Amino acid sequence: MKLAPIVRSKKMFVVLLLLLALLAGSVATSYAAPTESQGHYHVVGYGETLSGIAYHYGVSVQAILQANPRVYNPHLIFAGMSLFIPKAYIPPAYPPAPPTSYCRFHHYVTYGQNLINIGYYYGVSPYAIAQANFIYNLNRIYAGQYLCIP
C-alpha cells in the first residue's frame, strides 16, 4: 500500500520531465539562426568601430546591437569577431567602373599619393578625378587603385 504514492510521484516526475523537454524544444526553435535573406555576417577587422561598420552597411548601430545580443558594450568589439548585419543596403564589393570614353589617362595609385598631387600632375582638379571615379571622400583612395583621369 505504500508503493502507490511512490508510483504516482514517479509518474508525476516523468510528466514534468516531458513538459520541460517540450518547453525546451519550443524555446530552442524560437532562437533560430538568422538566414541569408535577413542579412549577412561581417568579420570585424583591426581598427573598425561599430559605428563605422553601421555606416558602411547603411544600418543603425542599434540595429546591429539588436541583432547581436552577445555584444553588451558597443565600444568593445574585437578584430576577428563575427557580427550579424541585418538586411539593409549592402554596398558593392568594388565601385562601378567609370566609362572609359572620357578617360584621357589611367593612373595607378602608389603609396603616399593623394588626389591633390595626382590632379596637379595631370593638370586636373581633384574634384573632377573624384567625380569621374565615384569617390565620395577625397581622402579615401588607396595604393593599388586605378583612377580614370578625365
User: What pLDDT score was predicted for residue 30?
Assistant: 45
User: What pLDDT score was predicted for residue 28?
Assistant: 45
pLDDT tens, 61-116? 888 888 888 888 888 888 888 898 888 655 555 555 555 557 888 899 999 899 99
Cell of 136: 565620395
Q: Tell whether 80 and 105 lie within a shared domain.
A: no
Q: Tell whether 43 and 82 lie within a shared domain.
A: yes
**Residue 80 forms part of a structural domain:** yes
Q: Which of 45, 62, 86 is the last residue of a domain?
A: 86
Q: Tell whether 74 and 104 lie within a shared domain.
A: no
User: What pLDDT score was predicted for residue 29?
Assistant: 43
When divided into structural domains, the chain yields a total of 2
Rounded CA separation 118/135 (Å): 14
Domain that holds residue 69: 36-86
Look at the block and give the residue holding cell 593638370: 123
pLDDT tens, 38-73? 788 888 888 888 888 888 888 888 888 888 888 888
Cell of 19: 513538459
**Residue 142 forms part of a structural domain:** yes
User: What pLDDT score was predicted for residue 123?
Assistant: 92
Does residue 118 surpass a pLDDT of 90? yes
Cα 24 to chain center, whole Å?
A: 31
**Residue 7 forms part of a structural domain:** no
**Residue 17 forms part of a structural domain:** no
Show Cβ contacts of residue 48 under 8 Å, excluding neighbours closer than 6 positions.
Answer: 77, 79
Q: Tell whether 113 and 135 lie within a shared domain.
A: yes
**Residue 114 forms part of a structural domain:** yes
Domain CATH for 55: 3.10.350.10
Strand, coil or helix: 2: coil
**Residue 75 forms part of a structural domain:** yes
Q: Tell whether 108 and 73 lie within a shared domain.
A: no
Number of Cβ atoms within 10 Å of the Cβ of 141: 19
Q: Tell whether 82 and 119 lie within a shared domain.
A: no
Global model pTM greater than 0.75: no
Residue 117 banded pLDDT, cuts 50, 70, 90: very high
pLDDT tens, 123-148? 999 999 998 888 888 888 888 888 98
Q: Look at the chain and count its residues.
A: 150
